Amino acid sequence: MKNFFSLILIAGLMGFFALFSMFIAEKTDVLQLNGRALGVSFSQEGDDTLMTWRPLPYPCVYSVTTVSRTTGLVKDSPPYHILKEEDTRFAKYIVPRASIPTYYYITARGLFGEIFHSDKVYPNPNFPTPPHPVSIYHYDKDNPASLMPFLVWHTVPNAVCYEFELLDAPPEVEGGIALSTTHHLDSTRKIYTNGYQADLRPFADRPELYWRARALGLHHEPIGEFCKAEKIVFDTTLPLPNCPLINNFDYMNYLTQPIYHVFDWIPLHYGVKYEVEMLTHPPEVENNIVASVDAVWRMVSDDVASCYDEYGRPYAGVYYWRVRALDENNQPIGSWSNSEKFIVEDYTKGVDVAVLGDSISHGGGAVSYSPRALQYSYETYIDFPVINLSRSGDTSHMTLERFEHDVLPLKPRNLIISTGANCLRDASISAESVIADLAGINKLCLQNDIRPIFLTLMPINPANLQNAFHTPTDPNWHAKLQLINEYIKRQEFFIDIEPYFYDANGTMDTGFSVDGIHPDLRGKMLIGELISKNKNLLK
């Protein structure tokens, strides 16, 4: 018995010594872990980007933080905004999908706390300099294409559209902004998303085919240059894809979508319109040709790559959606796409902060991006969680009318309010009517113990609005804006974002908004940073 207790004592002492040694190793960094270079590298793994590094010679858990750069326009803002933090036990990590340049830094925790922190952030390689598309789909001898393959690439920030070129050999010069002079077969600039179903059938007799793409702005000016031409190995016996491709390649699905959902896809080559249906369960048969009899919602969209749900869906549940192409007579072309799932969390116990407004708050930008592209939502860049109750197309009165249906079920303690931008350009809507609507929203908030926090309206740019949407603007828009913002600044809680967005001519700075009304990436980041700076307004 005495020997047994001696063994227990020795084991306890050894364990204590081991723990003490680990404590000393961690707290004094005798192993010089913080001085190590991790040797971070990136590779493609299917549709995902894999980040790997050399493991530390010590048992630990790695924490990977995904960040984006801030604008540098808001005083005392940090250099980076945190998008996601996640732990892994292994020296590898599938980086979260993103449509903006993202960066990653790595920390490691031992038994007694942090033992390593990377000295630098590691950039996502899918956003090169100069900007150009980075291919996601590759077709080689082990994975040949059909004669109508989908070609998909990572999004180029602020691209309004893309130019695609098909060649019979690599171009004379890689990159650049000019089409090939000797190997050009076909091209188009009518690509409004980060993918294209090419038709190779007229060129099936060619021994080799290559493709490349570049990003363009609103006036088809180049954003960066062509990507390196990529060879397409094709097999003429393969069946042709006959349904749209759900576009979830760069979507930041770890962030919360707005309650007014939008559905995006890469269109079928010959599609004229598209039909979307939503269900509360997976379809009985994937990729069939029959509409579901128990779909809870369906809509036909004239937009070739997006469809907006006209109903807010704040109630918890699991939903599924899919899309199919139609011809000019609304007859189906091919089959339904794969179904895509999305989940609405349970908000019935109340939320701390919600956002109510029009398309500026709903999201989207650079003309071609819908609110599903969360890089164009200012909510993405706010440093605290928010639920987006905004709806594209709202006037201030429409926002007021849906307050009871969309706001009250969530019981928010704070409501950030931004509506009225569409009223500025409409000559039939007066400043006084907008102010009355805002006063109505304010009254409803106070009646329901919600703190209203108003954002001032930003300027608009009539010339850019005309170029983007071919619609006129009320010549008195600026006088209306001044009256509305004077009212907002008399409220107890407001954030004044207006002064940041002017150009030298007193209109919306094109550097913030290419279409003259909806801020693009930098503008949405700036709004998010300004709201974050004023988080002391929250109750």
For residue 321, the enclosing domain spans: 242-346
- pLDDT, residue 134, reads 96
* CATH of residue 328: 2.60.40.10
- pLDDT, residue 166, reads 98
- pLDDT, residue 7, reads 53
Mind listing the pLDDT tens digit of every residue in the chain (539 residues)?
555 555 555 555 555 544 444 455 455 555 556 667 788 999 998 889 999 999 988 888 999 999 999 999 999 999 999 999 999 999 999 999 999 999 999 999 887 678 888 888 999 999 999 999 999 999 999 999 999 999 999 999 999 999 999 999 999 999 999 999 999 999 999 999 999 999 999 999 999 999 999 999 999 999 999 999 999 999 999 999 999 999 999 999 889 999 999 999 999 999 999 999 999 999 999 999 999 999 999 999 999 999 999 999 888 899 999 999 999 999 999 999 999 999 999 888 899 999 999 999 999 999 999 999 999 999 999 999 999 999 999 999 999 999 999 999 999 999 999 999 999 999 999 999 999 999 999 999 999 999 999 999 999 999 999 999 999 999 999 999 999 999 999 999 999 999 999 999 999 999 999 999 999 999 999 999 999 999 999 99
Report yes or no on 53 lying in a domain: yes
Number of H helices, E strands in the chain: 9, 28
- pLDDT, residue 12, reads 56
Please tell me whether residue 110 adopts helix, strand or coil conformation: strand
Report yes or no on 102 lying in a domain: yes
φ, ψ of residue 240 in degrees (nearest 5)? -85, 130
φ, ψ of residue 415 in degrees (nearest 5)? -130, 115
Q: pTM of the prediction?
A: 0.92
452 and 528 part of one domain: yes
Report yes or no on 226 lying in a domain: yes
47 and 158 part of one domain: no
Report yes or no on 128 lying in a domain: no
460 and 368 part of one domain: yes
Of 346, 367, 395, the residue that ends a domain is: 346
299 and 363 part of one domain: no
Q: Which two tokens stand for residue 468?
A: 């983007």
Contact 358, 437 (CB under 8 A): no
355 and 457 part of one domain: yes
352 and 441 part of one domain: yes
Alpha carbon 448 to chain centroid, angstroms: 32
Q: How many CB atoms lie within 10 A of CB 128?
A: 17
- Measure the CA–CA gap between 264 and 484, rounded to whole angstroms: 35
- Measure the CA–CA gap between 426 and 422, rounded to whole angstroms: 7
φ, ψ of residue 202 in degrees (nearest 5)? -65, -10
Report yes or no on 145 lying in a domain: no
- Measure the CA–CA gap between 415 and 293, rounded to whole angstroms: 38
300 and 224 part of one domain: no
Q: How many CB atoms lie within 10 A of CB 260?
A: 24
- pLDDT, residue 112, reads 67
182 and 213 part of one domain: yes
Report yes or no on 130 lying in a domain: no
Instruction: Concatenate the DSSP letters of all residues of 319-366 into one string.
Output: EEEEEEEE-TTS-EES-PPPPEEEEE---TT--SEEEEESHHHH--BT
Cα R_g (the chain), whole angstroms? 27
Report yes or no on 166 lying in a domain: yes
Overall number of domains in the chain? 5
- pLDDT, residue 59, reads 83
336 and 369 part of one domain: no
Report yes or no on 135 lying in a domain: no
Of 241, 263, 279, the residue that ends a domain is: 241
Of 195, 214, 241, the residue that ends a domain is: 241
- Measure the CA–CA gap between 324 and 314, rounded to whole angstroms: 26
375 and 332 part of one domain: no
In sequence order, what are the residues at sequence separation of 6 or more whose Cβ sits closer than 8 angstroms to the Cβ of residue 240?
A: 146, 147, 148
φ, ψ of residue 447 in degrees (nearest 5)? -65, -25
485 and 362 part of one domain: yes
* Burial (CB count within 10 angstroms: exposed 0-12, middle 13-18, buried 19+), residue 450: buried
Q: What is the DSSP letter of 55?
A: P
H-type alpha helices, 407-505: 421-424, 431-447, 462-469, 477-488
Contact 217, 160 (CB under 8 A): yes
Cis peptide, bond prior to residue 78, ω within 30 of zero: no
235 and 248 part of one domain: no
Q: Which two tokens stand for residue 204?
A: 């099936």
